[in-house]
Chains A and B, each alone.
Chain A
Amino acid sequence: MTLLSPVWTALLYLAAAVFFILALRGLSSPRTARRGNLVGAFGALLAVVTVFLSARLENIPWIIAAIAVGTAVAAPVARRVKMTQMPQLVALFNGVGGGAAALVALLELSHNADPWTRLAIVFTLLVGAVSFAGSGVTFAKLQELITTRPVVFPGLPVVMAAVLLAAVGTAVAVVLTGSLALAVLLMVLGLAAGALLVLPVGGADVPIVISLLNAFTGLAVAASGVVLGNVLLVVAGTLVGASGTILTRAMAAAMGRSVAGILFGAFRGGSTAGSTAVSERPVRSSSPEDVAVLLGYAQRVIIVPGYGLAVAQGQHTAAELALALEARGIEVDFAIHPVAGRMPGHMNVLLAEANVPYESLKEMGEINSEFRTADVALVVGANDVVNPAAKTSSGSPIYGMPILEVADARQVIFLKRSMRPGFAGIENELLYEPQTSLLFGDAKESLAKVLGAVKAL
């Protein structure tokens, strides 16, 4: 079907590109974020309708069936996924996008003899494959299908260098010969490079890698737009590539890391401290009643929520506890570390889900000076974001990450499942300090017991 003239097609693609820009801008402000996302979805719908009406397409029933399959698989998963598991879902969606771009480039190879176009093809193939495999490994790490610790083996830098050299050589050969077999080899090398890139990254840094791979997929899509001569793909892909790069840097800055340090830190063998065994030193464990007394007779309590709270689905109980304490005239705030949870801003989403008012969520810069005036810091299911090793232990994988200064509070209470170290796999010295007491158990159950005891005071 070619109902639309080239001019109309170009205009509609332009409109879709403008919608994407408006979507990204909308997503940058809390008030307009949801509308921004819908504007983006509308732009995408417009672009898909346009391609059906403008290009001369065969196999339309097949294509529609494939779209139906993709929608039927992705939409229910996206709608039902627990918010705690959302980071790995985003990684997965990012990966399949990169994979799609690589496949498109592979199929276009036989139609293009121009060396510049072939250059764009090998770029898409390689970057798309890196993004696909890298996102796959990221998914496996976040889902804890494989260890969240950095995976490093002797000779890793050599293997990585060999793979990259082979990839560059193969890419040149593909540009010169246009060989399909070599293009497939290039894709395989890209997959290997993607996996090798992400395996050595430690658990706490994984969110930043998702963002980086997101930018990679954007670039692959932009390059595939060059291959197909489609301006919309060029603009949309470049937008995502550029904004993804900025976002990656912003996230890394929030953690006090550099992007290069995250990707190549493990190569330099800097994260040995991550493998320390759990020590046998004594800790002060406490009962729900003791915790309730500490909280109930405080004047100011700061709750530090972490991923453990989210896993236990304890957000609502934490919100209730805050209300119960406020009813006793106690000032309660939530201190949100920028990377609390598994992704930057993840904890804000989770607590908003539990109807914690926006004003009680204090960002790290705002709250850190206030721990000194707090009677109790209640750390629920968080570990790495309050670990003083980030300040004191230069060999630690989290060294340099800004932390919440809970040690400044008069009393520190940890609600923890066990003495197991956090996602980054580093022991927390704070657990052994004299002002610290621990209440072991599932975060939600512990909170419920404490809540009951507070109400009984």
Chain B
Amino acid sequence: MTISLRPPARAPRAGRPAGGLGRQVLGMAFVTPYVLFLVAVFAYPLGFAVYMSFHDYFFTAPGAVVDRPFVGLANYTAVLSDPAVRQSFGNIVVLLVINVPLTVALSLLLATALNAAIRFRTFFRAGYYLPYVTASVAVVGVWRFLFNSGGLVNSALGPLAPDPTWLVNEHLAMPTIALFVTWKGLGFYILLYLAALQNIPKELYESASVDGAGRWRAFWSVTVPGVRPATVLVVLLATVTGANLFTEPYLLTGGGGPDGASASPVLLMYQRGIEQGNPDVASAIGVILVCGVLLIAFVQRRLLEKR
């Protein structure tokens, strides 16, 4: 216990005795389970997904040896010429166009207000974080109750209530899901922004105020550039999370309804791959989705970091 009272000063890295062969072996031994896990659960399945997408792959009994011919891009052309798949990618674009800007704006707004507020900070932070730690399945239940045709939202709106109601309306189903996704994840992004806001030196605000900048001006000239790394991260994570949407269309709109208007690529991967037994087609959807997301993320990063 006496040791534990020492200050956590970090020792200089240079000049310490090099680890012997024993330590080298031990280090490898310590990480072996984790390495095996990464290979078994990430690297191998990733390669396997790409392999499947280029072959005529189907489910067989365990151990059965069957021919799985290489089919080139056939799965990809099948997927891209499927109107349902194309619609699902379009739906995801709608989701991202609503969800990402809304997430950035609202989480920065609330984080800024929270950062300046002193009283009840803990309460607010906990409140905002609650949806993030709660299972989608649980909160989907209450959203269905709130947004059904005779639900509280519609009875509060009265004559302004949309008909057909939110989740069964082909124009509103996807935006409603986008709102749900924003609401569910916002607490996490608020925490990211809070951490970033605390790293902005307050001298910057002081000199901005000396220069005669008002609050609004200081927000745009000091806060927004100051949290840019966090913004890059928030945009990236919101895009990746949004693109992997599954639970919401499956449960909130009963399997991507109405008529595929809220289907997502991952939902189609499930339907095509596992329900209908075409894992090769599903893998092709997955590969296209990941490439698309990486492309969008790359463009976003370039745009955000350039300024």
Asked if A and B bind, the verdict is: no
> B residues engaging A (CB < 8 A)?
none
> A residues engaging B (CB < 8 A)?
none
